[in-house]
Structure 1
Amino acid sequence: MLNVFNLVLPFFGLIFLGFFVARINRQPLEALGWMNTFIIYVALPALFFQILSKTPVAELTQWAFIIGCTASTFCIFLVMFLIAFVRTRKIDESTIQGLAAAYGNIGYMGPALAILAFGAPAAVPVALIFCFDNTLHFVMAPLMMALSGNDKRSARDLASGVLRKIFFHPFIIATILGVAAALVGFQPPVALERLIDLLAKAAAPCALFAMGATLALRPLKRIPKELYLIVPLKLLFQPLLIFCILSLAGDFPPVWISTAMLMAALPTATNVFVIAHQYGVWVERASSSILATTLFSIVTLTLWLYVMTHGLIR
């Protein structure tokens, strides 16, 4: 158990440091702009490129794994969406609630935590989950908002916007370049390789610190009753569901299943707040969902890691 605490606590320690420093320093939220730019456009893409460029190409075409993971994410989204829609009859609010229950912090927390927990073999399932789960969310959010009438763009502009988000997202570009490098066996020059390595190592600390600062600058103002569903769905039921689906979908290495469960058990992504703010729907409650799932995940992630690293689930 001590090994699990030693693994998890530094991650949440970085989030707490960001939270604490933001509280005492009182910089505006906009002050995080350049750090977020560095994380999203430079550091995390470098990490994904580094991982994928050294991965055997055959491991990148596990379609049963991809479909199983994406299907489990969609099922959680659909369950929360339907529950919310029965209550509110509002597609836009229900969409944000569905995203809060299904869209985990797979960019900021996922890669570094999974690789530290399960080693280098976790890199490929992390990259696959990241690419296809993000594609699902990039498609679902504008599509559902268009159906609700909240997004007034034409079908052509909507489709164009979705494709731009998918293919011009820095993480997706880095993934494509990483796969291409793996295909041709590209080996970067020593200086470039060292630069990529420096940027990749900066990704997790900067991302987690920025996440803590963001939570501090978006205080918990409104506790939605939906949290009683969102928290267990996100932190408990989603990892259980992905375990069941992957167990039926194929014979995957244990590290792939553990990685998928860990990615599913991550707290709600800060992008859910960004989407809510973009459409002006459920904004404060989206922020509350992120903070609540992050706090509860200190306990649930620790338990999941203990279960997985001690062979209690296979």
Structure 2
Amino acid sequence: MMMFEGIFPILAIALAGYLAARSGYLKENEYLAIARFTFNLIIPCLLFINMVHADIPDNFGIDFLLAFYVAVLFVYLIAMLLARHVFKAGASLQAVLAISATYSNTTVVGIPLVLQTLGSEALLPLFMIIATQNLVLFSVGTVFAEREQFDIRALAASLVRLLRQLLSSPLTASLIAGLTFNLLGIGLYQPLDASLSLMSEAAIPTALFVLGTSLHQYQVGRQLPAALLITALKLIVLPILVWLTMYQLFTFDPLWAKTALLASAMPVGISAYVFALRYQTGQSAVAAASVISTLLSLIPLTLILMWIA
């Protein structure tokens, strides 16, 4: 009962967003405006202010990230092989389905859930995953998606374009800015610090509300086999492998290990859909997997929270 009470506010706010969009109370342009406001201003404030005040380890958590991405990339390869042999997918679709099976919704779902269950000290390891997830998975995805038409100059141009897009993203830019302030010991003017902290308090409810409205936009359609495979890899196989790397193969601070385990069990992130749009393949399957995994992620997340409590 206590576990459900802890998760209930997350579900209730997301449901409110879904109902507001589904009922027509909010028009499409209105809830899309809320989404832009959330991702371009509110969440960057949260990322920046928490990174400024974070207690960053001496090695920047490189060992933690390596352990996390060993599991992620192993699942990525499994997903590619299954996409190739089960669905007879080409290189681009293989890469799209593999990213969908490994890309976690660490922002919209992750930040509220981690704050609610593990506290603000768990934000640093989560932010490290957020800061590197696009770079790692989109880079690997680009290489595999374009391997059949391999051209070193075209590939290099794609990677440079990807890096430019990442650096211009408000989420990535806010993390880098906060890290810079932290490492250089630059203090924030106290009233400005208080203003950003106040602004960041809106990040959690608005992100959850946006999650609800986003579920209204995507239809499951006829993509159940691929979507269910993606969901199984994302919500079952990936958390098991992250548990192995965090708890069995290596030893990490318990709070960091818990954060990584929760992050691995998050539903499919919307950026996977963006990657599918980039290559114009697998969009329906990714959208369906996003909806299904969001609904079903409550099961592994609840089990993990019961185990780590």
- TM-score, normalization: structure 1? 0.90
Does the CA contact (< 8 Å) of 1:138 and 1:165 recur in 2? no
**Code of the aligned partner of 2:16:** L
**Alignment partner of 1:61: what SS?**
coil
Distance across 1 between alignment mates of 2:77 and 2:137:
12
**For the structure 1 residues 27 and 21, does the alpha-carbon distance in structure 2 shift closer, same or farther, using more than 3 Å as the test?**
closer
Identity percentage of aligned residues: 22
The question of 1:82 aligning with 2:77 is answered no
**Code of the aligned partner of 1:184:** L
**Alignment partner of 2:224: what SS?**
coil
**For the structure 1 residues 150 and 283, does the alpha-carbon distance in structure 2 shift closer, same or farther, using more than 3 Å as the test?**
farther
CA RMSD of aligned residues (A): 2.3
**Code of the aligned partner of 2:7:** V
Deviations 1:63-117, CA, capped at 9 Å, x for gaps: 1111011221111111111110123141111112111211010121112211221
**For the structure 1 residues 178 and 60, does the alpha-carbon distance in structure 2 shift closer, same or farther, using more than 3 Å as the test?**
farther
Deviations 1:262-299, CA, capped at 9 Å, x for gaps: 00000001122222223221111211100000111122
- Tell me which residue corresponds to 1:265: 265
- Tell me which residue corresponds to 2:14: 15
- Tell me which residue corresponds to 2:171: 171
**For the structure 1 residues 224 and 91, does the alpha-carbon distance in structure 2 shift closer, same or farther, using more than 3 Å as the test?**
farther
- Tell me which residue corresponds to 1:34: 33
Distance across 2 between alignment mates of 1:190 and 1:211:
32
Distance across 2 between alignment mates of 1:59 and 1:34:
40
The question of 1:235 aligning with 2:244 is answered no
- Tell me which residue corresponds to 2:195: 195
The question of 1:131 aligning with 2:131 is answered yes
Deviation larger for 78-87 or 272-281: 272-281
Does the CA contact (< 8 Å) of 2:227 and 2:286 recur in 1? no
- Tell me which residue corresponds to 2:117: 117
Deviations 1:138-179, CA, capped at 9 Å, x for gaps: 31233333225599x823421321221232222221111111
Q: How does 1:241-256 map to 2 (within 5 A)?
A: 241-256=241-256
**Code of the aligned partner of 2:48:** F
**Alignment partner of 1:154: what SS?**
helix
The question of 1:46 aligning with 2:56 is answered no
Unaligned runs of 5+ in 1: 310-314
Does the CA contact (< 8 Å) of 1:52 and 1:182 recur in 2? yes
- Tell me which residue corresponds to 1:288: 288
Unaligned runs of 5+ in 2: none
- Tell me which residue corresponds to 2:24: 25
Q: How far apart are 1:126 and its partner, in Å?
A: 0.6
Distance across 2 between alignment mates of 1:26 and 1:288:
24
**Code of the aligned partner of 1:279:** Y
Distance across 2 between alignment mates of 1:202 and 1:15:
14
Distance across 2 between alignment mates of 1:27 and 1:149:
44
**Code of the aligned partner of 1:191:** P
Does the CA contact (< 8 Å) of 1:18 and 1:209 recur in 2? yes
Deviation larger for 212-221 or 75-84: 212-221
Does the CA contact (< 8 Å) of 2:51 and 2:179 recur in 1? yes
Deviations 1:21-78, CA, capped at 9 Å, x for gaps: 1111175544433222222221111111121111223266121111011221111111
Deviation larger for 16-25 or 183-192: 183-192
Deviation larger for 31-40 or 258-267: 31-40
Does the CA contact (< 8 Å) of 2:20 and 2:26 recur in 1? no
Distance across 2 between alignment mates of 1:159 and 1:148:
16
**For the structure 1 residues 251 and 300, does the alpha-carbon distance in structure 2 shift closer, same or farther, using more than 3 Å as the test?**
closer
- TM-score, normalization: structure 2? 0.91
